[in-house]
Amino acid sequence: MQVVYSSRHLAHDIDTETFMGVGVPANEVAERAERIRTALTADGEFAFSEPTEHGEAPITAVHDEGLVRFLEVAWSEVRAQAIPRAFLSADTYPNLAMFEGISPDAVQRLVREPGHVGGRAGYWGLDSAAPLVAGTYDAARAAVDVALTTMDLVLGGERAAYGLCRPPGHHAARSMYGGYCFFNNAAIVADAITRATGERVAILDVDYHHGNGTQQIFWRRGDVRYVSIHADPERAYPYFLGRADESGEGEGSGENLNIPLRAGATNADYLEATDRAVEAIAAGPGSIVVVSLGFDTYGLDPIGDFALTTDVYHEVGHRIATLDRRLVILQEGGYHRPSLGENARAWLRGAEGRAFDPLPSSGFTERGTVA
Ligand code: Q9C
Ligand code: ZN
């Protein structure tokens, strides 16, 4: 399989994130992508290439231009405003209740991007879990180019290709970054495919978290079907979207399918959900599926609570391949670093119909496997 990778992700060099008001070791770190790159290289069946520059137009086709401009200058603003922090995190977020009783029209007029960079980060940001540093914008732009180059390979005739995107994208909405995500790589690609082919596109999101950004971007669109399997937002980030009764509106009515799962979800639970998701995609038109691929569903993931093991990724990849559609596979989350390479190898080999022989010494013990 063709893999697109750029070392420019290394510029998004973070070691701390904020969780419930406290600085904690970052989850979404450079080592993640390097682990996957190393494992796929050692496998020998993956051919790597560099992304090509696609410019800003495909980004502003799904994102507000103001978000792009903010992310571009955010770090120099931190410096210019002499904010003594190692990374940018918001001061205040505009909670919906701040505007209770004020008409929607008035809210539109009153809520403006402030000058203070801590306020600007609140205006454009969802949460404190997306630390922004000097190289973040460049890395996020490179991730978009990785995604679009992966799409080019598939439009050029590859049956499946994998974009090793970092930072990830599925929490980024039209006018918002957050959840370790800055630009929505999968949404940018799905939108670009509709324009390039005139066909409908499906997005299958198998990251542990609900892809609130992708859902928001396509909520009213009839040409992109979004299907997501994720932790129930009742207990998991992003908390305020991702429930089973969210199905889209207007032309997008019925084009959004959320499959929330309980804590401790097993391989069997996951395969059942996968079959439902595959069925929902097969029921619609189109020849290309964009996969938002996350491994935070793994039993040992530090921020997930599912119980999946490596062999189920091979089977999930295989079941998605039974759709017999072309696949643009883009990396999202997954934070148990020692297993990331093996899990990616298992999934991608499954999607290609190849066998998977686990490496004998992966150096960690799976929770949830029968010893
Ligand atoms: N205790 C992706 O997987 N909350 N984003 C972390 C840690 C933010 C996940 C809480 C999770 C964002 C792409
Ligand atoms: Zn995730």
Q: What is the pLDDT of residues 316-336, one digit of tens each?
A: 999 999 999 999 999 999 999
Ligand lying closest to the C-alpha of residue 214: 1
Ligand lying closest to the C-alpha of residue 296: 2
> What value does the mean pLDDT of the chain take?
96
- Tell how far the Cα of 208 is from the centroid of ligand 2, in angstroms: 5
H or E stretch including 191? helix 185-197
How far is 149 from 285, CA to CA, in rounded Å? Answer: 24
pLDDT digit string, tens, across residues 73-108: 999 999 999 999 999 999 999 999 999 999 999 999
Average of per-residue pLDDT across 340-345: 98
Bridge partners (DSSP) of residue 176 are 173
**Residue 369 in this model has a pLDDT that exceeds 60:** no
Comparing C-alpha atoms, which of 152, 144, 226 is closest to residue 188?
144
- Tell how far the Cα of 100 is from the centroid of ligand 2, in angstroms: 31
Place of tokens 């210019």: 80
Ligand 1 pocket test: pick from 303, 336, 340, 343 the residue with the most ligand atoms within 8 Å of its Cβ: 303
CA distances from 119 to 76, 86, 116, 135 (A): 15, 17, 5, 21
- Tell how far the Cα of 229 is from the centroid of ligand 2, in angstroms: 11
**Residue 366 in this model has a pLDDT that exceeds 90:** no
The answer to whether the CB of 12 falls within 8 A of the CB of 136 is: yes
Residues 6+ positions from 69 with CB-CB distance below 8 Å: none
pTM for the model stands at 0.97
The answer to whether the CB of 52 falls within 8 A of the CB of 152 is: yes
Residue type, 269: D
pLDDT digit string, tens, across residues 156-193: 999 999 999 999 999 999 999 999 999 999 999 999 99
Which atom in ligand 1 lies closest to the alpha carbon of residue 170?
13
Output the pLDDT for position 363.
Answer: 59
**Residue 365 in this model has a pLDDT that exceeds 80:** no
Output the pLDDT for position 362.
Answer: 63
Ligand lying closest to the C-alpha of residue 238: 1
Give the Cα-Cα-Cα angle 325, 328, 331 (nearest 5 degrees): 135
- Tell how far the Cα of 160 is from the centroid of ligand 2, in angstroms: 22
Q: Look at ligand 1, atom 3, and give the residue with the nearest C-alpha.
A: 333
33 lines ligand 1 (CB under 6 A): no
Residue 361 pLDDT level (bands cut at 50, 70, 90): low
pLDDT digit string, tens, across residues 22-60: 999 999 999 999 999 999 999 999 999 999 999 999 999
- Tell how far the Cα of 204 is from the centroid of ligand 1, in angstroms: 19
Give the Cβ contact number of residue 85 at 10 Å.
12
The answer to whether the CB of 190 falls within 8 A of the CB of 290 is: yes
167 lines ligand 1 (CB under 6 A): no
Which atom in ligand 1 lies closest to the alpha carbon of residue 178?
12
Q: Where are the alpha helices (DSSP H) in 260-309?
A: 267-282
Residue 358 pLDDT level (bands cut at 50, 70, 90): confident
pLDDT digit string, tens, across residues 118-142: 999 999 999 988 999 999 999 999 9
Q: Which of residues 352 and 370 earns the better pLDDT score?
A: 352
129 lines ligand 1 (CB under 6 A): yes
